[in-house]
Structure 1
């Protein structure tokens, strides 16, 4: 039991701390691109970064932020899924009604996403994610933690999320945590030029050797039976 650890990526990096709090058998956790900010904040940041990478104008991105802020408010206030879905579509129509034809053209990619995903927005999972705050859970994690993010992660922005994880662990009294931002890596911890989602399939590398070695070295150093063993060759 002293050597059981959890390694989770993205949402898995959100779940690993939950499991560590629930079970004393968890000896360590590794959070790869895990959450350090609230769910709604993460989605707003993600939309901003991905939209900017996709070439959307600042005006369209600002309109998107306003719309998604309204969508999150609807999800927090309205428990009935059918009613919530209608209110989301009404919020979209209202936003479009205030735009010029030129603005509507620039906003078209956002409209397409909202139209396609309104049904997903009212699912239990998305509702939970929007409301989720990782801080209270992270403050209860007492086992060693490694949190890593890629520098070019556009889905889980590295600086704010790693800072959130660090602050929560520190506030909770955890004395053994390591926070690392890996240069040049995307959300999937691949070596990437821009971090854009469109690059994922084009990159032959499944996962950066640097990321793999960072994780494995840290785990070996925190595994009881292997403490004191000779360091691995670089």
Structure 2
């Protein structure tokens, strides 16, 4: 039986790399995207061109009805769901004093509520032997200025991970989080000059910025062979903290 993965935020960056890696691992993949249908389509076509199986489903991860419909697509197209990767996220920056609270609410809706809503469907629908993989950020530990709202949203994701792992006792479903460090995605690079990126690269002992494939390798591990890792947060950041 082919295993089936749902990847939110699968049209770009870490989500796309995760979807491509899971497809290469032999899974059928549902690419959930918020609004960029063109990029989602490119991801699907790329997977198919490599011999994999993939479809796209549009959904605001904060909308429980849209998320339920995306799970329906997975079940109707491929027969069920085994793996869920919660990769959808936004990262507007700003100090606590100056951040517009409407922006704060948007961050929380996508990053915190979105992960919760998707995890709720996953908890209800995943087949035995499944895996839920959340995506946090190493900034939860680094605590850079201006990342307060973002770090707060991702800290909640890490807290949810062990709670859900315990709630799924007896189901043979693992729940883990991967927390990337600075990674060369459009989300991370936006608004940063070359000097800023170079300084961040120097912080890790490996002296480089991560690439999406570094993170998708960990996702693949947690989605497949890593059955004894559960309720954990893995900081994939080259040793930055």
- TM-score, normalised to structure 1's length? 0.41
RCO comparison, higher one (Cα < 8 Å, 6+): 1
| Greater strand proportion | 2
- TM-score, normalised to structure 2's length? 0.40
| Greater helix proportion | 1
